């Protein structure tokens, strides 16, 4: 395993194509650092990506996502395929730092070049999914990993973001977490293509499974095309298993005994096949790309506002005196940034 030079973008790109671990790791760091000089090579990565089946896993903290990801990765390897994992944990809103602990449950996966695990912090991203996380998915995709698992932070409303980042969305629930069904009621039910009830070796698992199955058959209004595309919330009143539509599955798993893991992988493969057969994959790819464009634009604007903090400070007197309102201030600042195609004024060069 030779290591390409740290800033040699071409060598890194070559390394990524050959699935060199060091090169992949560095490329993801480039995406995370978001320096203007690495845009070209990341654009090349984007061109290379688009082959992998991207699966998002979400669920409340403690529902067993990391453990499930580990078990699933094992099963994917046994099936002869490779797997990249992006495990996301929250950044502290105060210090900006993060403790990334998902690897604690994924350690037996090391020593195998067919598995690549990267932990990432949310870095204060809206919706819990950083732009860089999606670029990391691209890097793993370009490196030729067959399946990519994104493990989300899974807190509060954040999980909704994953809908627009993955081809298949898995919602993980566990027995004994008490307000599980409440969480499902709050909206997480609609985003799942597959529900997993983890820890099903526990005696109270059946109640959780029954709860979710029950909710799914209650004639819940399903989103039409994966839904939730910035305000375009089209719902139709159809039972979940109507003709040609994906029937949302509930899979009970136990990483402890290995029960249900194979079934889950089969269901994931079936969902990918369903998407490919029905044109759903094309639609999801579109949705993902659209969302990424918007997220990237948000990133650029947020950076520019930070980098031009003095301009905002200059408006503060008027704002405090309430002679202008925040909307006018924002519009004034946006006008000064003069965004141009191809060379936006990036305020963060270092």
Partner 1 sequence: MNDKTKVIRVLLAKVGLDGHDRGVKVVARSLRDAGMDVVYTGLHRTPAEVVQAAIQEDVDILGVSLLSGAHMGIIPVILKLLKEAGAEDIAVVVGGVMPDEDAVELKKLGVAEILFQDTPPEKIVSTLRQIAASRGAG
- Which residues of this chain interact with partner 1, rule CB under 8 A? 1-3, 6, 21-22, 24-26, 28-29, 32-33, 91-92, 94-101, 103-105, 107, 110-111, 116-119, 121, 123-124, 303, 306-307, 348, 350
Q: In angstroms, give the least distance from the CB of 110 to partner 1.
A: 4
Query: Would you say 307 and 265 are in contact if contact means Cβ atoms under 8 Å apart?
Result: no
Closer by beta carbon to partner 1, 274 or else 302: 302
Q: In angstroms, give the least distance from the CB of 104 to partner 1.
A: 4
Phi, psi of 83 (to 5 degrees): -140, 130
Closer by beta carbon to partner 1, 84 or else 260: 84
Separation between Cα atoms, residue 176 and residue 207, nearest integer Å: 9
Closer by beta carbon to partner 1, 90 or else 280: 90
**DSSP state for residue 91 in the 8-state scheme:** B
Residue 178 neighbours by CB distance under 10 Å: 8
Separation between Cα atoms, residue 340 and residue 337, nearest integer Å: 9
Q: In angstroms, give the least distance from the CB of 99 to partner 1.
A: 5
Closer by beta carbon to partner 1, 62 or else 219: 62
Closer by beta carbon to partner 1, 136 or else 171: 136
Nearest to 137 by CA among 91, 86, 93, 178: 86
Q: In angstroms, give the least distance from the CB of 310 to partner 1.
A: 14
Tokens of 277: 């057969």
Q: In angstroms, give the least distance from the CB of 313 to partner 1.
A: 17
Angle at 248 between CA 185 and CA 114, to 5 degrees: 110
**DSSP state for residue 110 in the 8-state scheme:** T
């Amino acid at each position: 395993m030779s290591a390409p030079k740290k800033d040699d973008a071409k060598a890194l790109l070559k390394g990524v194509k050959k699935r060199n671990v060091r090169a992949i790791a560095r490329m993801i760091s480039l995406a995370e650092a978001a320096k203007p000089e690495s845009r070209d090579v990341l654009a090349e990565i984007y061109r290379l990506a688009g082959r992998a089946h991207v699966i998002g896993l979400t669920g409340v903290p403690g529902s067993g996502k990391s453990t499930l990801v580990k078990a699933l990765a094992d099963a994917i390897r046994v099936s002869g395929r490779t797997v990249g994992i992006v495990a996301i944990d929250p950044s502290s809103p105060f210090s900006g730092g993060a403790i990334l602990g998902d690897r604690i449950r994924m350690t037996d996966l090391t020593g195998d070049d067919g598995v690549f695990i990267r932990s990432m912090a949310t870095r204060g991203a809206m919706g819990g999914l950083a732009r860089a996380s999606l670029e990391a998915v691209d890097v793993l995709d370009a490196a030729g990993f067959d399946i990519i698992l994104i493990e989300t932070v899974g807190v509060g409303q954040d999980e909704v973001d994953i809908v627009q980042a993955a081809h298949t969305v898995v919602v993980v629930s566990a027995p004994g977490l008490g307000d599980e069904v409440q969480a499902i009621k709050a909206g997480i039910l609609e985003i799942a293509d597959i529900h997993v009830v983890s820890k099903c070796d526990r005696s109270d698992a059946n109640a959780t499974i029954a709860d979710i199955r029950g909710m799914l058959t209650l004639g819940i209004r399903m989103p039409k095309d994966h839904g939730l595309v910035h305000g375009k919330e089209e719902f139709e009143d159809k039972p979940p298993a109507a003709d040609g539509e994906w029937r949302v599955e509930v899979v009970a798993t136990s990483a402890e005994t290995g029960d249900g893991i194979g079934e889950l992988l089969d269901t994931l493969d079936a969902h990918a096949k369903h998407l490919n057969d029905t044109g759903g994959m094309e639609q999801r790819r579109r949705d993902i790309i659209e969302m990424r464009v918007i997220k990237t634009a948000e990133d650029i604007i947020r950076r520019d506002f930070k980098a031009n903090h003095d301009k905002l400070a200059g408006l503060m007197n008027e704002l405090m005196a309430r002679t202008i309102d925040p909307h006018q201030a924002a519009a004034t600042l946006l006008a000064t940034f003069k965004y141009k195609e191809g060379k936006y004024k990036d305020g963060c060069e270092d």
